[in-house]
Amino acid sequence: MTIAAVVVDAIVDTIRTLVDCESPTADHGAVARSADLVAALGEELLGVTPERVVIDGVTHLRWRFGDATRVLLLAHHDTVWPIGTIERIPFAVAGDVMTGPGCFDMKTGLAMALHAVASLDDRDGVTLLVTGDEEVGSPSSRRLIEDTARGARAALVLEASADGGALKLERKGVSLYEVVVDGLAAHAGLEPEKGVNATVELAHQVLAISGLADPATGTSVTPTVAGSGSTTNTVPARASVWVDVRARTAAEQQRVDAAIRALTAVTPGASVSVLGGINRPPLEAAASASLFARAQAIAARLALDPLAGVAVGGGSDGNFTAGIGVPTLDGLGAVGGGAHAEHEHVLVSEIAPRTVLVAELVAELTS
């Protein structure tokens, strides 16, 4: 397959159709309508109706070719943008720059996946899974992703690339906790000594939590949203803080998890409970190394610009496939920038080369 054989206008038309169909994750009806559209586009390109998998009200799609999955392509069709955004920021192409809500994250990658699979002469062993809740951590689709990926030679994630088109060779694991402190209410003016101040205890806990970070290993432990108390003249009986944890290795993620679950109260009479936990395991460098080398060789053979690779902090569904031991390469989708921001954009000139790269990589891995 050559880059010249890729019809960029056809892919752009697919992207336009996908972007125009808004699909904010929390709106299950909108996600279902988007799934209908993706299924129709995929059926037209691939000649096969996908499996429609609805879990907890969220609609996912899966195309499987052959009896066993050798290569899994991962994409998602949900976005962070609320209904009506398309009226304010319509899809547009100006020169080499495409704009529109969700174009970079990740409807261009989804369109590229569909067209890459459609270009294959032999699709045996290829599975394309399109999920509908990636933007909120894939709560309904995680098991579907893991079950589909299990035993595969590779998982290729069509999430957008990093800066400059770099592939994502590492992703930090993500954990999210709510640490809740229970104290005892009392009148702040009449008898504060009879209360157990949850705000004071929360302050101790926030400092302890912050101390779990390890910048040398890339582990961040960040207290974020906090709240306490009910009225200004009452000793607060309850307080809480949310904690965002990012770690490059499973060992670090487990270390922080154990430490947070072992938190104990400092203030007499107070108690601490922990909700939440590990959301996504890390995509470690070892999971992507061999696939990245193969992609670099293909890029050289196609006379594409040399591929770069980086480590990033954000998570994706590739974390799940790497977490069960499947070699995983991420960031194979759009080149551009501005994910989740109003300046979200895609470089049109990069769509064809990346689509061919994906198709050649799939063909090589399934042969």
Residue range 94-101: mean pLDDT, rounded: 98
pLDDT, tens digit, 9 for 90 and up, residues 199-242: 999 999 999 999 999 999 999 999 999 999 999 999 999 999 99
Is the pLDDT score of 2 beyond 80? Answer: no
Token duo for residue 237:
């009986």
- pLDDT value, residue 307: 97
Exposure of 19 in the CB half-sphere (CA atoms within 13 A): 30
Q: What are the structural domain ranges in the chain?
A: 3-172+282-366, 177-280
- Active-site residue among 22, 105, 133, 134? 134
- pLDDT value, residue 1: 53
- pLDDT value, residue 150: 97
State in words which class domain 177-280 has.
Answer: alpha beta
Is the pLDDT score of 253 beyond 80? Answer: yes
Is the pLDDT score of 35 beyond 90? Answer: yes
- pLDDT value, residue 7: 83
Is the pLDDT score of 156 beyond 80? Answer: yes
Handedness of CA 82, 83, 89, 94 (dihedral sign): positive
Residue range 132-160: mean pLDDT, rounded: 97
- Active-site residue among 22, 78, 105, 360? 78
- Look over the chain and give the mean of its residue pLDDT values, rounded to a whole number: 96
Please indicate whether residue 133 is annotated as part of the active site: no
Please indicate whether residue 78 is annotated as part of the active site: yes
The rounded distance, in Å, linking the Cα atoms of 233 and 339 is 44
Q: What are phi and psi of 182, to 5 degrees?
A: -110, 130
Is the pLDDT score of 3 beyond 90? Answer: no
Q: Report the CATH superfamily, name and number, of domain 3-172+282-366.
A: Zn peptidases (3.40.630.10)
The residue ranges of DSSP E strands in 132-187, in sequence order, are 154-157, 167-171, 173-182
User: Cβ(317)–Cβ(131) under 8 Å?
Assistant: yes
**Which of 176, 47, 38, 18 has its CA nearest to residue 106?**
18
State the DSSP code for 106.
I
Percentage of the chain beyond pLDDT 70 is: 98
Is the pLDDT score of 198 beyond 80? Answer: yes
CA 269 to chain centre: 41
Using 50, 70 and 90 to split pLDDT, how confident is the model at 325? Answer: very high
The rounded distance, in Å, linking the Cα atoms of 188 and 32 is 51
Residue range 117-123: mean pLDDT, rounded: 95
